[in-house]
Structure 1
Amino acid sequence: MPPELTVFFLAMTPFLEIKLAIPLGLKLGLSKTSTIAFATAGTIIPAMVGLAAATPITNFLRKNSPIMDKFLTFLFNKTRKDHSKSFEKYEALFIFMLVATPLPGTGASAGALIAYLFGVEYWKACSLFILGTIVSALLLLTGIESIFALTSLFN
């Protein structure tokens, strides 16, 4: 498989996403620009598809399973009741920072989950995923380049 597709598909891995794809892309010899482009696309596409599919899937589960209906009703009510005031105030900043922070468990998948739980408008959430993923990619690239530079000092 071409390295570009390897990076693209690896970036689709939920919660590892770009954090795994960028180092691999650089290791496979891709340029920084290609690595960021393929890793960013691979990270954003599943988040956008997942966010778009979440409502129909949830509606199907609620309609066909009384247990899932009770669970999802509880989950949405509790989450929104406990966190909606602070989330409404900082909604965009929170999602952006969650996606932009290059740590395990953060990223576009986590952002999509939070956006769905709180009912964030689709295109607003997607624009935050895109911006956050680009910032995350640049932070990762800077960190990786710094590590490479430091290790070359000691070799």
Structure 2
Amino acid sequence: MIEILEKLKIEIIVMLFSMLPLVELRGAIPLGISLGLEPIQSMVISTTGNIIVVFILLNILNPFMYRFEKTKLFNSTLGKIKERSMKKSRVIKKYSILGLFIFVSLPLPTTGAWTGALISSILKLDIKKAFIAMSLGLIVAGIITLTISYGVFSIF
């Protein structure tokens, strides 16, 4: 019984880490492997957590930005966040939903679910299409990250 609870605790930690900005599945997959999860299990848990965040972000960012853009206090802050995010959005602007998929599938810093959802909201992409593109992109990023992580950890 204690072993099951310990394993479940590790899985919850890995899923929560995959939901954090900057960490996302790129950091959660190696974390799960280092905590003793099977590599595939770590990838599935991390990808699931990251996809949950995409669903939440896509559904709250549009109304949030629309409402707070009109206030003086938040307008300048949102403007800075938009400006920073849009610097990374060249591929998305050019290829729309396919660009969003490519952007999110690259396991590089700041090309994950949080930035992708923000850019998708700024560009006012269709939420359902953006969710599918980002989910598929996260699966690809998870496979790439798993391949790299497992190769690195199996050396040691």
In the superposition, the TM-score normalised over structure 1's length comes to 0.79
Per-residue CA shift, 1:52-110, capped at 9, x if unaligned?
111221233245x245458868x98xx99xxx998555112221111111111111111
Task: Give the Cα separation in 2 of the matches to 1:130 and 1:70.
Answer: 31
2:56 to 49, 52, 64: 49
The answer to whether the 8 A contact 1:51-1:122 is kept is yes
Tell me how large the CA RMSD over aligned residues is: 3.0
2:140 to 129, 135, 138: 135
2:121 to 109, 116, 120: 116
**Aligned AA (2:10):** P
The answer for the alignment partner of 2:108 in structure 1 is 103
Pairs within 5 Å for 1:1-155: 2-63=9-70, 65-66=71-72, 68=74, 87=92, 89-149=94-154, 151-152=155-156
The answer to whether the 8 A contact 2:92-2:103 is kept is no
Per-residue CA shift, 1:19-65, capped at 9, x if unaligned?
110001111111223211210111111222112111221233245x2
Task: Give the Cα separation in 1 of the matches to 2:37 and 2:53.
Answer: 22
**Aligned AA (2:22):** F
Structure 1's 62 and 109: CA in aligned 2 closer, same or farther, altered over 3 A? Answer: closer
Unaligned 5+ residue runs, structure 1? Answer: none
Task: Give the Cα separation in 2 of the matches to 1:5 and 1:86.
Answer: 34
In the superposition, the TM-score normalised over structure 2's length comes to 0.79
**Aligned residues between the structures:** 148
SS in 1 for 2:22: coil
Structure 1's 33 and 145: CA in aligned 2 closer, same or farther, altered over 3 A? Answer: closer
The answer to whether the 8 A contact 2:47-2:139 is kept is yes
Task: Give the Cα separation in 1 of the matches to 2:51 and 2:137.
Answer: 10
SS in 1 for 2:131: helix
Unaligned 5+ residue runs, structure 2? Answer: 1-5
Structure 1's 67 and 13: CA in aligned 2 closer, same or farther, altered over 3 A? Answer: closer
Structure 1's 72 and 25: CA in aligned 2 closer, same or farther, altered over 3 A? Answer: closer
Identical residues among aligned pairs (%): 32
Task: Give the Cα separation in 2 of the matches to 1:119 and 1:20.
Answer: 28
* Greater C-alpha Rg: 1
